[in-house]
Structures are given as structure tokens and as C-alpha cells.
Amino acid sequence: MSAETTAPVRTGLVGFGEAGEVFHAPLIDATDGLELSVVMTGDADRAGRVARDYPRARVVPSMDAAWDEIDLLVVASPSATHGEWAAEATRRGVAAVIDKPLAMTTREAEKALVPDARLTVFQNRRWDADFLTLRALIAEEALGRIFRLESRAELFAPEIGAGWREASEGGGILIDFGAHLVDQAMLLFGPPLTVYAELGRRRPGAKVEDEVFLSLGHAYDVVTRITMSLAAPAVGHRFQLNGTGGVFTVDGTDPQRDQLADGVRPGADRYGIGEDGTIVTAEGHRAQPLSRGSYDDFYAGVVAWLRDGSTPPVDPRSSVAVLGVLDAARQSAAEGQVVALAGDGPGSG
């Protein structure tokens, strides 16, 4: 059935914190074929903002009486609840988009992937401007044979926050940032064969790790080095991609989060356009314009998946594979040694 003759996919959004309000609601609203029909939040201020910005959506404190009003569930609640929502959506026969991580552990994620589950995972960093540029440079062999990627997510937040990400149920930055950065590395180079990790609590009073280093050994002698920190007043390159013919570096963060928060929507002139990166070769330095970031491509893929039977924009099995790497990272940090993996899980999709 064509999109022109099909009613919009009625979409329910669980949670209207930063993930729900800044990312999911604007992207759902901007996507042809989707309709934001229900938003679940128990916070009065957030409910008021939903009514103001999305007047056609019904605000509910619970999904109990709203399941019949939706065709798609989008889960933007705290990470510890993701696995439960995925299982409930499957039990009710409703397709679901789960914000990363799919679950807190590999075992919980695998339980959600029963044969009739219709799930995909919001690994939006696959559509970052700088990451799309990395993929293009690798595909073009613009830097020769790639042998190392350095990937960083570093912030300076000296005071411990009150949110769930700073509490034990939030899992720490290994699962919060790592669910993105490990996913990116696996999409580029496939599942790692080895994992080495160091986890630290650097800030006074930290309840979960706030500094992480990972070294992933991929096939063909490619290494990904990932640094994540909430205690970094000076930050390094966001990406440094080293090849036998040159190096690509880029700083800063993808612009889409701030643009969406400021009301800029996909399709606007500067939407998804980040600052240039730099390529250094034997001939010297040159600016490298970035590809346009496109989080909206994820939700366009959701529409195609639900309407046309296309593959989901993110294969949930790849998110389970990421959780397996994060599990191995915790084992490595606890044992102080490299952990070997089979390396045969799905690294993309």
C-alpha cells in the first residue's frame, strides 16, 4: 500500500525528558507518515510543554489505557526501563523504537528479541555529520588503509548531577556513551576480536564510572581507542582516523542536538551542517567539509520498515552485540586484562 493512501502511523512516546523532548518528539513530528498521538509523562511541567508544542497529542500518566491508540511505541524513558518496555510492546504486538541502549545487559536484551518482536534501536549517532564523513572517507579509501580510530566523548561536569545517569541504575557512561561509540566502531570495522577496558570514578562522590578507556581490536589489525569522560576540562579530537595515506580529525560535537532543542528542524538550510574537519597528508593540510547530519533518516527508515516491510533502520541484534562488548569491557576492567571475543556477531544493520 502506498504512503499516499495510508493513514499516518500513530505513535506513542514514553518519556518527555531530554531524549523525548529534544530528539524523538521533534523528529516524529517532522517525519511524513508518522503522527505523535500519545505522550506518556507524569510531570506536570512536561505535560504542559507537550500540550503547547504538540496539541494533537494526548498526554497520559500511564500507557495502560492508550495501547489501542498507537501503532508504534517510542521508548525514551531511563535506560533501566528499556528492556521492560521492549518486552511489553512485543507482548501487545506493537512495533517499538527503543532509545539506546536496548537494555542494561545482554541477557535482558536477548529476552526482548523473541521471534515475533518488531523492534529497532535509536542509534542516532550513526547519522552524525562527522561519523557519516568517516564512513565516506573509508569507502573512498581517501586515507589509504585504515589502522586506527580514536573516538572521544569528553565533557567537564565537576559536580555530580541528580539525574538517573549519575546513579547506579543509570549504568554509568560506559553504557550511556559507550552504547553509541562502540556501535559506531562496530559499524565501521565489524565486531571486535579483543576488548581492553579501564573504568574509573574520578569526581568526589561519583557512584558510577565517570571516566572510561576502551581499546577494541578488530580484524585486519585495526584498533579503535575510545575515551569517555565527565571529568575532562580540556578535550581531544572527537574523531581521529589514521590511515597509511593520511589522517582525518574533527572537533566538537554534531550540531543536530542543539538545533533540535532550538527549534531548527530537518530540511532547514543549515540543519545537520557541522564545522569542517581536517585531512593531513604528505602534501599538507586541507579542510574537509562534513556530510550533512541526518537523524531524520532514522525515522524515515522506521516508516519504510512499518509500511513497506523494509529492514528496520537499526537491526536490534547489532545493539545486542554492542551490549556484549560492554559486558566484556566490565570483565576486562575487573580482571585487568584483555578479553578475547568470538568476533562473529552482527556488527551492522
pLDDT tens per residue, range 162-177? 665 666 555 689 999 9
Contact 91, 67 (CB under 8 A): no
Mean predicted confidence (pLDDT) in 226-230: 96
Residue 53 burial (C-beta neighbours within 10 Å; 0-12, 13-18, 19+): middle
pLDDT value for 313? 98
Contact 92, 84 (CB under 8 A): no
Contact 243, 146 (CB under 8 A): yes
Question: How is 76-141 classified by DSSP, letter by letter?
Answer: -S-GGGHHHHHHHHHHTT-EEEEESPS-SSHHHHHHH--TT--EEEE-GGGG-HHHHHHHHHHHHT
pLDDT value for 347? 46
pLDDT value for 5? 57
Task: Take residue 339 and report the three cell numbers written for it.
Answer: 578479553
Q: Which of 1-15, 293-307, 331-345 has the lowest mean pLDDT?
A: 1-15
Which residues 6+ apart lie within 8 Å of 63 measured at CB?
Answer: 12, 14, 38, 40, 73
pLDDT value for 43? 95
Kindly list the domain boundaries of the chain, sorted by start residue: 3-125+298-310, 126-293+324-340
- pLDDT 10s digits, 304-345: 999 999 999 999 999 999 999 999 999 999 999 999 998 554
Contact 149, 242 (CB under 8 A): yes
Residues of the chain with pLDDT > 90, as a percent, come to 86
Chain centre to alpha carbon of residue 35: 22
pLDDT value for 345? 47
pLDDT value for 2? 44
How far apart CA 313 and CA 77 sit, in angstroms, is: 20
Confidence grade of residue 116 (pLDDT, cut at 50, 70, 90): confident
What DSSP element (H or E) covers 278?
Answer: strand 277-281
Contact 87, 111 (CB under 8 A): yes
| DSSP code for 51 | H
How far apart CA 25 and CA 263 sit, in angstroms, is: 11
What DSSP element (H or E) covers 302?
Answer: helix 296-308
Domain 126-293+324-340 annotated CATH 3.30.360.10: yes
Strands 9-14, 72-75: pairing is parallel
Q: 3-125+298-310 falls under which CATH superfamily?
A: NAD(P)-binding Rossmann-like Domain (3.40.50.720)
How far apart CA 105 and CA 86 sit, in angstroms, is: 13
- pLDDT 10s digits, 15-69: 999 999 999 999 999 999 999 999 999 999 999 999 999 999 999 999 998 999 9
Residue 296 burial (C-beta neighbours within 10 Å; 0-12, 13-18, 19+): buried
How far apart CA 188 and CA 139 sit, in angstroms, is: 10
Phi, psi of 197 (to 5 degrees): -140, 150
Confidence grade of residue 128 (pLDDT, cut at 50, 70, 90): very high
Q: How many CA atoms are closer than 13 Å to the CA of 335, on its beta-carbon side?
A: 12
pTM of the full structure: 0.93
Residue 233 has pLDDT above 80, yes or no: yes
Q: What angle do CA 54, 77, 224 make, to 5 degrees?
A: 115
pLDDT value for 163? 62
